[in-house]
Structure 1
């Protein structure tokens, strides 16, 4: 026969019998593993174990990071508190330094104010020229006082006040029938406040109270002195 003669079709069973593998056709169904197949469960279980191990590792890392966050947050809070305290201390130190410099400067100016005060009390201008000079002098004094007020300086008012060692410096003490003991009866040098704090203590004279005699013995001593003019006037009338 010629080469183009058709080959007869072979039976698949005959092919298997001859030891040849059958050829799968596209229409053959694809086998899928069932969930109950032990072989498929064995293939899935390693993946599940890996996921659980990964989850445990992530949880450990999360715990570690959370602990580190707490530590760093505590350190930050301490540093922030230290910085705030440092800032407040610096501000306080600057204020104290400013007050010290102001007090030092004003302490040098106050004697000039004292001289102005003494000269103002002693001046008694006579004539137009002297009065004009006195007005100029008073203007300078007022300008100086206004500058001190702007800086927060205020004079103390001490006469008649009870002696206070935090405000006053007792230079003299003397008996006084007019004032109780430990009352300021005279200001020798004016004291000043600076923003409510003592800039300079006032030098004062303080009463020691009544003299050596008590009030009962001193009162009768004043009565004869009051009656004496009446006796003198009566005797004068009789003599007349």
Structure 2
């Protein structure tokens, strides 16, 4: 009996110890589960806080970036305006310089033409004298003929030099009178030529390119009327008085 009681006591103690052990194990497992869940919750909470922090940082970054973009756009507009201003000034200066260059070249050319015209105009009287001498002198012997030929050679050299400079004589006979090139010295009343036609060149005119060196002095045709003789006599009288 004693042995059975001892066995029962041992079994009871064993059961109690096992129950305590199982409770301890379960409590430890629950503790570990809670700890694990707590760690996971902590990690999740940290991740959430990190994401929220990053989102907040990005949210604060957008206004900064927008402001920087606006500042850059403003600077770009200012740079474009400065470029346009400088470019317009550059174009204006180029245009002014080009106009100045063209004007300087034109003034230089005009001055050269004026000087050339003045110099050549002074030589035209020499040409006239040579032509008068050629038309009025008739050599009587071989000596005079040699002299005549000699100065006519000088005349030819002078005329060739003027041609090389661009000087040309006018040939107005048969043309209509033009006051830009001709100067009317006489009128001839006739039915043989249309009114205003140049009948004869009294003194040769010369041009240099489009520049008139000397107007051609001419006789101009006028329509024949009953008062033509009186008018012609009056014109001759006026010309004679002007010569005196």
Q: TM-score, normalised by structure 2?
A: 0.68
Choose 111-120 or 205-214, whichever is displaced more. 205-214
Structure whose alpha-carbon radius of gyration is higher = 2
Aligned length: 185
- State the distance in 1 between where 2:78 and 2:108 align: 45
CA contact (8 A) 1:180 1:210 kept: no
- State the distance in 2 between where 1:69 and 1:213 align: 79
- State the distance in 2 between where 1:132 and 1:170 align: 38
- In the other structure, the counterpart of 2:85 is 71
Change (3 A) 1:43 1:204: closer
Q: Give the counterpart of 1:42 among 51, 56, 63.
A: 56
CA RMSD of aligned residues (A): 2.5
Give the match's secondary structure for 1:174: strand
**1:46 Cα shift?**
3.4
Q: TM-score, normalised by structure 1?
A: 0.69
- In the other structure, the counterpart of 1:168 is 182
- State the distance in 2 between where 1:91 and 1:75 align: 24
1:200 aligns with 2:211: no
**What's the CA shift string for 1:72-109, capped at 9, x where partnerless?**
21222222112211111111111111111111111111
1:139 aligns with 2:153: yes
- In the other structure, the counterpart of 2:171 is 157
**1:125 Cα shift?**
1.1
- State the distance in 2 between where 1:118 and 1:52 align: 97
- In the other structure, the counterpart of 1:188 is 202
Greater helix fraction, Structure 1 or Structure 2: 2
CA contact (8 A) 1:159 1:184 kept: yes
**1:192 Cα shift?**
0.7
CA contact (8 A) 1:191 1:201 kept: yes
**What's the CA shift string for 1:120-172, capped at 9, x where partnerless?**
11111122211111111111001000111011110011223222222111112
1:112 aligns with 2:136: no
Provide structure 1 residue ranges, at least 5 long, that are not aligned to the other structure: 1-28, 215-240
**1:173 Cα shift?**
1.6
Give the match's secondary structure for 2:226: coil
- State the distance in 2 between where 1:71 and 1:196 align: 44
Give the match's secondary structure for 1:62: helix
CA contact (8 A) 1:180 1:207 kept: yes
Structure 1 segments, 4+ long, off by >4 Å, are 31-36
Change (3 A) 1:32 1:62: farther
- State the distance in 2 between where 1:33 and 1:53 align: 30
